[in-house]
Amino acid sequence: MGDTRGAVDGPGGTGTATAAQRGPTPEVSTAGRSGRPPGITVRDVAFGYPDRPVLRGVDLRVEPGELTALIGMNGCGKSTLLRVIAGLLRPERGSVQLGGEDLAGMSRREAARRVALLHQSAPPVPGMTVRQLVRQGRWAARGPLGMLRGGDDAAVTRALADAGVTGWAERPVDALSGGERQRVRLALALARDTRILLLDEPTTYLDLHHQLEVLGTVVRLREERDLTVVMVLHDLGHAARFAERIVALREGRVVADGAPREVVTPRLLADVLDVVGRVSVDPVGGWPVCHPDHPLNH
Ligand SMILES: Nc1ncnc2c1ncn2[C@@H]1O[C@H](COP(=O)(O)OP(=O)(O)OP(=O)(O)O)[C@@H](O)[C@H]1O
């Protein structure tokens, strides 16, 4: 497999102003709202589960305020990498920094005040309402004794509204459809009110209408809340359209990294996704459009 990394040396060229294009701004080192959001620096990270190595030396730098899509085949380590960045898994080697602060020196709560992760979690507690679940997102913001703070209700209300689920607030989560639950998970992550948002397959279970709606919401919230966002997407077309930058993993390594127009090529389809296909440019939007033909047979 060829290494397509370095096709460009940074984000840009998607028609949206990138963090680099917006110019240098100071990173903040706290979860506070002033200044630019923290960037993410992953250096030579290795991680494995007891029976298998997964991440094999990942290097990645996400600029403050950047919207990055992480792509790759099933099992290549995307979710594992997000969990490492969220501080849920400790790397065996290498380091992760959030806004220049080393994650290794942070408690779970300190990490959770800086970074929120939407992931495909366990089934909800029977009868728990959407609002009750989303309130759980406030745990890290609370004091050591779990005391509710003044901003909790406002953060929950805002998260419900931003994810478009206010109308379901009093409904039991276990009575919602898969797609509805996925939007509640987005609200749960937003309730953390962090400046770094990690989204693991945020469009899973959603119909096309709601996929576009959620991705549009992520783009809007990135601007409104001034966030740094990394999202795992299986749809390369969505990644090419909505992200400023695409990072591709293969067998636990970064093998491509750059602006969609630069890295989304037939070679990327083959090298990263084992697919033979073509790539054209959307005549209206200008983003790359993939035309997958058939799986690549090795
Ligand atoms: N808790 C676990 N214990 C053992 N192995 C695991 C665990 N979680 C994931 N794995 C394995 O680690 C590898 C990477 O998994 P990961 O979930 O990071 O992949 P992924 O790229 O997100 O895949 P997908 O696109 O299918 O969601 C896979 O081989 C998976 O089976």
**DSSP string spanning the chain?**
----TTSSSSS--SSS--HHHH---PBPSSS-SSSBPP-EEEEEEEEEETTEEEEEEEEEEE-TT-EEEEE--TTSSHHHHHHHHTTSS--SEEEEEETTEEGGGS-HHHHHHHEEEE---PPPPTT-BHHHHHHGGGGGGS-TT----TTHHHHHHHHHHHTT-GGGTTSBGGGS-HHHHHHHHHHHHHHT--SEEEEESTTTT--HHHHHHHHHHHHHHHHHTT-EEEEE-S-HHHHHHH-SEEEEEETTEEEEEE-HHHH-SHHHHHHHH-EEEEEEE-TTT--EEEEEEEEPP-
pLDDT at residue number 141? 79
CA of 104 to the centre of ligand 1 (A): 22
pLDDT at residue number 148? 63
pLDDT tens digits, 181-196: 999 999 999 999 999 9
Q: Domain ranges in the chain?
A: 37-123+193-295
Residues of the chain with pLDDT under 70: 1-34, 143-150
163 CB within 6 A, ligand 1: no
| Closest residue to atom 6 of ligand 1, CA basis | 49
Report the atom number in ligand 1 closest to the C-alpha of 234: 25
CA of 32 to the centre of ligand 1 (A): 33
pLDDT at residue number 34? 66
CA of 114 to the centre of ligand 1 (A): 24
CATH of domain 37-123+193-295: 3.40.50.300
98 CB within 6 A, ligand 1: no
pLDDT tens digits, 126-164: 899 999 999 999 888 776 666 666 678 899 999 999 999
pLDDT at residue number 29? 37
CA of 79 to the centre of ligand 1 (A): 7
Residue 91 one-letter amino acid: P
